[in-house]
Amino acid sequence: MAATTETQQALKDIGGDYKHGFVTDIEMDVAPKGLDEAVIRMISAKKLEPEWLLDWRLEAFRKWGKEEEPEWAKVHYPAIDFQDIHYYAAPKKKDGPKSLDEVDPELLETYAKLGIPLREQEVLAGVMGSPNIAVDAVFDSVSVATTYKKKLEEMGIIFGSFSEAVKTHPELIRKYLGSVVPVSDNFYATLNSAVFTDGTFVYVPKGVRCPMELSTYFRINTKETGQFERTLIIADEGSYVSYLEGCTAPMRDENQLHAAVVELIALDNAEIKYSTVQNWYPGDKNGKGGIYNFVTKRGACRGVNSKISWTQVETGSAITWKYPSCILQGDNSQGEFYSVAITNNMQQADTGTKMIHIGKNTRSRIISKGISAGRGQNTYRGLVRVMAGAENARNYTQCDSLLMGDKCGAHTVPYIEVKNPSAQIEHEATTSKISEDQLFYCLQRGLTQEEAVAMIVNGFCKEVMQNLPMEFAVEAQKLLGISLEGSVG
Amino acid sequence: MTTMLEIKNLHAAVDGKEILKGIDLTVKAGEVHAIMGPNGSGKSTLAYVLAGRAGYEVTEGSVSYDGKDLLEMSADERARDGVFLGFQYPVELPGVNGMTFLRTAANAVRKHRGLKELDGIDFLKLLRQKASLLEMDDGLLKRAVNVGFSGGEKKRNEIAQMAVLDPHLMVLDETDSGLDIDALKVVSKGINALRGPDKATVLVTHYQRLLSYVEPDFVHILARGKIVASGGKELALELERDGYVNYVPEAA
């Protein structure tokens, strides 16, 4: 397919460097460094939040003070000074943009450079090859633009920035915020609960099948800023939605923290498909700089026959700590986790999933593909838990690791806890190297070394990649090639 | 006829052990040469050296291809320039669609030749045309490359790739091994269909069997890293009758 050729072209175009490493020079409204109650009050005030939400944040902040940073993951990094981070940064503006015409042209330019079409006519002109994507763009701490809002509104679908939804649909936020990832869930989720700035909110009403891919594009721009976004997606009874997020950040020598929380709720017969293409700046070859991606993502299949499917392609970040999970509460509900994680150079990833089977006849499927190159360390960590009441639960897990070179590492840490004897659990795992035979075979047919590696790796990841929405699959295939550039030979 | 391949005093080693000990061979355009020899004589090593496989170190001698120094070219450059190796054991590429793989390869070759790259539809046309020439269906190409293929399917797939890539110099390493008589006929037919005045073929084989279907112009016997005898196709028949005993005493 053309994707491999395009990977090569992309490689040439960017000369192997991180493509999204530029900085947008724009006037920013930045909170002073450090975190205390005053900063939280400031964030809440900036967003004109109701009293209850401020109280929620403050409670989280007090709990955070008592929690400890998790140390069980197989990742190593110097201690983070949480007082040396800006917790709020927003492009300066008079009022919120009412339409795209009011969005700062500098920002539109930034997203155009990233290949994210914010102007609907650009989307229609086929910038991404398909008009069926609505985009919400989050720049540092705030959402700057949402496309196709009107069209979605006509169907009753709410899609937009989190802070706006707090104003327009407080009842939904109040009901569901923190209901899947409680305030005190873990150190980073608690921190996020205290300081989250913006993110995306989606509500799909009963019986509605969302006709387009919903997409959020996250961009960290300001120096020494943490990005703490909060995403909440609710699929009401019998509805369906497919959502995709993409992420980039400038190249900087210092590390930047990204601690997001994503909560998904699927009610009776509803389905949510959540895809991520994570390409935060991974740091340089020697491990200097890069994003610390410490993210809590969890979905609750609350209703009967509901389904949540996570697909992630993790190519960026210096450190990835992330376990998109499913709580399979409703009878006959299904959870899926498809993951490709690449660690090249000095990157470290500790990622996997948790599948918690509570309801009867619940099913889960885990397909994890880890690729380690350079000195990268890649860990799959997963939990399959079958509770006593979960009659006839089933799980299938497959963890494959691919090693490139002899200085990288692949680790698999699966936990299985079964409290109901009717459960059927399968676990398969393989570890392999790209063989000399495979490479030579490709070279002998005329492929270059880079094309050959991209071809073999894309083949290895195929079961995951085919779960991505079409519009993003090509992009993701390119990313795999770019991320592994220079890792063989 | 022009000389396509000229090998002079070729020595090559694998892991420091010398396998080829001074090979001389000239192949002209339009010719088919068969290289025969007992196990361990260096037949596959010669094929790999011609294709430029890493780890096969040329310690002495020269190889010119179309007037160019073949040994100066990387493996993928050789392939794009028209050197094709049919593998004795074609390699599995899990998850890599055969069509995708072959189109990428075909376009790499076409680009090198200054031809327009083919889109999916044009490629499919070319593929159908080649497949009908070989009386093969294109079903194999819809699967992952060589994954779960039988021995015969793998070899047929090699010939299909060869037909699409349209190489000038075809080096076929034991393409006949592991084939039943029907598969052997199909594969031979493919090889014959790809013969031409501007192409040359080097058949590396253990048995005379293939040569009943693909008639060689020359037969060479390789033993202990050297060509010890050369002749016409009658040499192959002699080997079939007497074995290698007259050339390699210990083979008796």
Nearest CA in chain A to B85: A444
Name which residue leads in pLDDT, A237 or A250: A237
Torsion angle of the four alpha carbons A15, A19, A22, A24, in this order, in degrees rounded to the nearest 10: 140
Tell me which residue range forms the domain holding A387. 2-483
Closest Cα to residue A74, out of A281, A289, A370, A298? A370
Is residue A414 pLDDT above 70, yes or no? Answer: yes
Tell me which residue range forms the domain holding B205. 3-251
CB of A387 closer than 8 Å to CB of A358: yes
Chain length of chain B: 252
CB of A208 closer than 8 Å to CB of A154: no
Across A407-435, average pLDDT: 91
pLDDT of A1 reads 34
Exposed / middle / buried, residue A251 (Cβ in 10 Å: 0-12, 13-18, 19+): middle
**Of A62-76, A102-116, B32-46, B184-198, the least confident:** A102-116
Percent of chain A at pLDDT exceeding 70: 78
Inter-chain touch A447–B90, beta carbons under 8 Å: no
Alpha carbon distances (Å) from A214 to A198, A464, B208: 17, 20, 64
CB of A319 closer than 8 Å to CB of A354: no
A412 forms beta bridges with A380
Please check whether residue A488 lies inside any domain of the structure: no
Cα–Cα dist A353/A298, whole Å: 9
CB of A283 closer than 8 Å to CB of A253: no
Alpha carbon distances (Å) from B132 to A117, A203, B127: 45, 55, 9
Cα–Cα dist A275/A125, whole Å: 24
- Measure in Å the smallest separation between the Cα of A444 and chain B Cα atoms: 5
Please list every residue in chain A whose beta carbon sits closer than 8 Å to the beta carbon of residue B144. Answer: 459
Residue A478, SS3 per DSSP: helix
Residue B138, SS3 per DSSP: helix
Nearest CA in chain A to B109: A446
Inter-chain touch B79–A443, beta carbons under 8 Å: yes
Q: What ipTM, to 2 d.p.?
A: 0.95
Q: pLDDT tens, position by position, for chain B (252 residues)?
A: 689 999 999 999 999 999 999 999 999 999 999 999 888 899 999 999 999 999 999 999 999 999 999 999 999 999 999 999 999 999 999 999 999 999 999 999 999 999 999 988 999 998 888 887 766 666 778 889 999 988 888 988 899 999 999 999 999 999 888 888 888 888 898 899 889 999 999 999 988 888 889 999 999 999 999 999 999 988 888 888 888 888 876 654
Nearest CA in chain A to B124: A1
Sequence-separated (6 or more) residues with CB below 8 Å from residue B218: B31, B32, B33, B34, B230, B231, B232
DSSP state of A149: H
Is residue A395 pLDDT above 70, yes or no? Answer: yes
Supply A458's token pair: 């894309």
Cα–Cα dist A325/A469, whole Å: 20
Cα–Cα dist A343/B18, whole Å: 39
Q: What's the number of domains chain A is made of?
A: 1
**Of A59-73, A218-232, A357-371, B205-219, the least confident:** A218-232
Longest Cα–Cα distance in chain B: 56
Inter-chain touch B84–A444, beta carbons under 8 Å: yes
Nearest CA in chain B to A440: B53
Please check whether residue A160 lies inside any domain of the structure: yes
Other C-beta atoms closer than 10 Å to the C-beta of A252 total 18
Please list every residue in chain A whose beta carbon sits closer than 8 Å to the beta carbon of residue B91. Answer: 435, 437-438, 440-441
Supply A309's token pair: 């499917």
> Which of A445, A452, A460 lies at the smallest CB-CB distance from B165?
A445
Residue A435, SS3 per DSSP: coil
Interface of B to A at Cβ within 8 Å reads 51-55, 74-76, 79-80, 84-85, 87, 90-97, 100-105, 107-109, 112, 117, 120, 144, 161, 165
Interface test with B, best of A1, A6, A437, A444 (most B CBs within 10 A): A444
Sequence-separated (6 or more) residues with CB below 8 Å from residue B11: B18, B20, B21, B22, B58, B59, B60, B61
For tokens 């939400």, name the residue. Answer: A53
Q: Which residues of A256-289 are buried (b: 16+ CB within 10 A; e: fewer)?
A: bbbbbbbbbbbbbbbbbbbbbbbbbbbbbeebeb
A334 forms beta bridges with A307, A363
Please check whether residue A489 lies inside any domain of the structure: no
Please list every residue in chain B whose beta carbon sits closer than 8 Å to the beta carbon of residue A452. Answer: 76
> What values do phi and psi take at A241, rounded to 5?
-150, 140
**Of A114-123, A248-257, B18-27, the least confident:** A114-123
Across A392-410, average pLDDT: 91
Q: What's the number of domains chain B is made of?
A: 1
Confidence of residue A11 (pLDDT cuts 50, 70, 90): very low
Inter-chain touch B91–A460, beta carbons under 8 Å: no
Please give the single-letter amino acid code of residue B92.
Answer: E
Residue A456 near chain B (CB below 8 Å): yes
pLDDT of A428 reads 92
> Which of A435, A445, A456 lies at the smallest CB-CB distance from B161?
A445
Interface test with A, best of B15, B80, B89, B96 (most A CBs within 10 A): B96
Name which residue leads in pLDDT, A148 or A118: A148
Please check whether residue A338 lies inside any domain of the structure: yes
Cα–Cα dist A394/A361, whole Å: 7
pLDDT, chain A, mean: 81
> Which of A435, A440, A455 lies at the smallest CB-CB distance from B53?
A440
Please list every residue in chain B whose beta carbon sits closer than 8 Å to the beta carbon of residue A473. Answer: none
Is residue A86 pLDDT above 90, yes or no? Answer: no
Alpha carbon distances (Å) from A230 to A194, A213, A235, A453: 11, 19, 17, 36
- Measure in Å the smallest separation between the Cα of A3 and chain B Cα atoms: 9
Residues 436-455 of A with CB under 8 A from B: 436-438, 440-449, 451-452, 455
Closest Cα to residue A422, out of A354, A361, A364, A365? A361
Residue A458 near chain B (CB below 8 Å): yes
CATH code: domain of residue B92: 3.40.50.300
Cα–Cα dist A153/A166, whole Å: 17
Q: What is the pLDDT of residues A447-477, one digit of tens each?
A: 998 889 889 988 898 888 888 877 677 777 7
Please check whether residue A66 lies inside any domain of the structure: yes
Inter-chain touch B91–A435, beta carbons under 8 Å: yes
pLDDT of A6 reads 42
Closest Cα to residue A447, out of B7, B179, B139, B111? B111
Pinpoint the alpha helices (H) of A100-148. 105-113, 120-124
Residue A355, SS3 per DSSP: strand
Inter-chain touch B55–A447, beta carbons under 8 Å: no
pTM across the whole model: 0.80
Inter-chain touch A4–B80, beta carbons under 8 Å: no
Inter-chain touch B87–A447, beta carbons under 8 Å: no
Is residue A221 pLDDT above 90, yes or no? Answer: no
